[in-house]
Amino acid sequence: MTSLRPDNRVQIAWAGDHRFDAGRPGGPQIRIDASAQTGPGPVDALLVGLGCCTGVDVVDILAKRRTPVESLGIEVQGERREEIPRRIIKAHLVYRIDGAGIEREHAERAIDLAVTKYCSVRDSLDPSIPINWSLVLNGI
C-alpha cells in the first residue's frame, strides 16, 4: 500500500485575497481559496485529502483481491465546532464503489483498513475525531 517517499515539502505562494497556489517545488499546483471562489478552502482541502488518501488505499486493496474498482466516488462531510478555531470535530465519508465481482464484505474491509490503518492523513488528525463511513456498492 505504501512506498518509501521523501519527506513532504510544499511551497505556497499568495495569489491575492484569500487565495494561495501550492504544491511540491517544480510539481503541479493547486489553488486553495478561503473564500471558495477559485478553489476549495483550507478545511475543504483537508477533507479532500482525507477522502483521497483513503480512496487510494481502497482501490489498491480491492485490486490486490483481483476485484478492481470500475468507479469510485467519495463524499466527505465534516462537522465543525462553533467556537474559533472552528476545527473539524467529526467526519463522515460515503464511498460509492462500482465494480464487477466486488463483494460487500471485501469492500467494507478495504474501507475499514483504509480509514483505521493505512491512511496517513487520518493518522495525522486528532485521534479523538470520530471518522465514520458508509458504502454504496454497485448502486445498493
What CATH architecture applies to the domain 42-137? 2-Layer Sandwich (3.30)
| Alpha-carbon gap, residue 32 to 37, rounded angstroms | 9
pLDDT band at 4 (very low <50, low <70, confident <90, very high): low
At a CB cut-off of 8 Å and minimum separation 6, what does 10 contact? 22, 23, 24, 25
Bridge partners, residue 80, by sequence: 88
pLDDT score recorded for residue 25: 94
**Residue 119, class by beta-carbon neighbours within 10 Å (0-12 exposed, 13-18 middle, 19+ buried)?**
buried
Strand runs labelled E in 39-130: 71-80, 88-98
Dist. CA 31–CA 41, nearest whole Å: 9
Q: Which three cell numbers stand for residue 112?
A: 475499514
Per the confidence metrics, is the pTM higher than 0.75? yes
- pLDDT for the residue numbered 104: 98
pLDDT number for residue 1:
53
Evaluate whether 53 touches 45 at the Cβ level (below 8 Å).
Answer: no
- Compute the distance between CA of residue 105 and CA of residue 87 in angstroms, rounded to an integer: 33
Amino acid identity of residue 108, one-letter, is E
Alpha-carbon gap, residue 49 to 21, rounded angstroms: 16
Asked if the model's pLDDT at residue 3 lies above 80, the reply is no
